[in-house]
Homo-oligomer: A and B are copies of this chain.
Amino acid sequence: MSSTKAPVFAERVSVEQVEEGAELAPKFDADGLIPVVTTDAETGEVLMHGYMNREALSRTIETGEAHYWSRSRQALWHKGATSGLVQKLVELRIDDDQDAVWLRVDVEGGASCHVGYRSCFYRSVPFGATFSGGAPALTFEETEKVFDPQEVYGDAPNPTKL
């Protein structure tokens, strides 16, 4: 990737600039990260919630493919490099105070979750009138895995941390 196409992020100078302006002035947190919501461009389903550092956001803009910062591996992460499940950007949005990113993507292969499901959010939680107190029992909204994690990732360490 040529560095001549690297995006330049603006300095954050005023609330009006950040909220109402046309400059990309993202806010990275104390760890240098910005949270990212990734949805399926066709269905609107939330596929995953991740993080980008400055380099991951730059690479995503340059290439049109989702790059994240893996907090568990502490490494730049081109989604799909291992699994083949690359996320091609359809749209990239930034929120009002520019401290969160929304990616609308097409996923080649149809899955985004390391556990093997289509979405990482494969379980629902009861609430309100349907919740009677105590320990909420989760419902699996996806019951079929799209791929076998063992086949795809082999013995790579599981990113889930307790």
Interface residues in chain A, defined as those with a beta carbon under 8 Å from any beta carbon in chain B: 4-10, 12-15, 18-24, 27, 35, 37, 39, 43-46, 48-49, 60-65, 89, 91-97, 100, 102, 113-115, 117, 120-129, 131-141, 158-162
Contacts and interface: CB of A to CB of B under 8 A. Distances in A.
Given A15-B158, A18-B160, A94-B123, 8 more contacts: A19-B115, A23-B137, A37-B37, A46-B102, A89-B127, A92-B126, A93-B125, A97-B160
Contacts of A5: 131-133
B44 A37 contact: no
A62 B96 contact: no
Given A8-B134, A15-B160, A135-B8, A92 B127 contact: yes
Nearest to A2: B133
A28 to B, nearest CB: 13
